[in-house]
A and B are shown apart, each in its own frame.
Chain A
């Protein structure tokens, strides 16, 4: 009997936790590595999985590297090749973090809230800490989150002549937008 009660309690608690997590499978991650010499290295991925837990402040996203869409086919091939992101070996880009100023966000009240986010970003199989700011917009039951930051590509083991020659930015700008359900 005790066992059954325990099991029911676990199911109830995990169900409640799951219910708190807001997710989307259509978040957007865009990056812009353009320079004065080359306007081609930029792309976006509109099928990113993202999650936000308003209670704990947990925030995360997963993007399939091959799903970054470029205008130029050659640029897309280069991006996925072993000289850049090596998407066959490292198929995803992952971020796991937390909103550290959670008290500043009222998920029950409409408004725009500035957030501070701390977490780990994994690109090219290398995980580095990432601290950034973003914003959360609450409109009724809908929650939108955005963040923009730069990364140093050589921190993630991406070293290429095109970066040294100034054709690809050393610190591309990454923008994330997610509308949670």
Chain B
């Protein structure tokens, strides 16, 4: 007994849709962030002018930069241990405002060789900035960072 061509077609289509759906779900749930090294920067900025944009109007600056890949150039003012990782800080030493970079797991070794006073360019995903009530200063945070230069 053989299936009618129309029934055969329906079964093949259903199986194909099922396989595509399974693959899509598997892809979405196992997807990871791309290595930031491979990401193209949306903006390249100098740290002091970048901080200044947030100080003038952080709502506007957040709209422009949040969740974008940015390359920031400046001098390292502080290195902070965070749990088992290292954060690199570039600050405006006159106002205390700062940008802080949390490195991508696979690029932690790069962060660990950076020293205070080094001129660096760091690329990462900007999480935005705000005024800290605790520190009484503006700060901007980055995640998934890598050392560009």
- A residues neighboring B (CB under 8 Å): 23-28, 40, 44, 46-47, 49-51, 60-62, 64, 66-67, 69, 71-74, 91-92, 94, 177, 179
Contact = CB atoms under 8 A, between A and B. Distances in A.
Q: Which 8 A-B pairs have the closest CB atoms?
A: A67-B127, A26-B82, A26-B80, A66-B127, A46-B82, A47-B141, A67-B141, A26-B87
Given A47-B141, A62-B132, A25 B32 contact: no
Contacts of B134: 23, 49-51, 60-62
B10 interface: no
B103 to A, nearest CB: 9
A69 B102 contact: yes
A49 B87 CA distance: 13
A47 B98 CA distance: 12
B68 to A, nearest CB: 11
A interface: dominant SS: strand
Given A25-B89, A47-B102, A92-B130, A179 B135 contact: no
Interface of B: 28-33, 62, 66-67, 80-83, 85, 87, 89, 98, 100, 102, 127-130, 132-135, 139, 141-144
Contact of A64 (B28, B30, B33, B127): B127
Contacts of B66: 66
B133 A62 contact: yes
Nearest to A38: B29
A47 B82 contact: yes
A24 B66 CA distance: 23
Given A40-B29, A49-B134, A49-B139, A66 B80 contact: no
B135 A49 contact: yes
Contacts of B82: 26-28, 46-47
A26 B127 contact: no
B132 A74 contact: no
Given A26-B100, A46-B102, A177-B83, A64 B31 contact: no
A72 B32 contact: yes
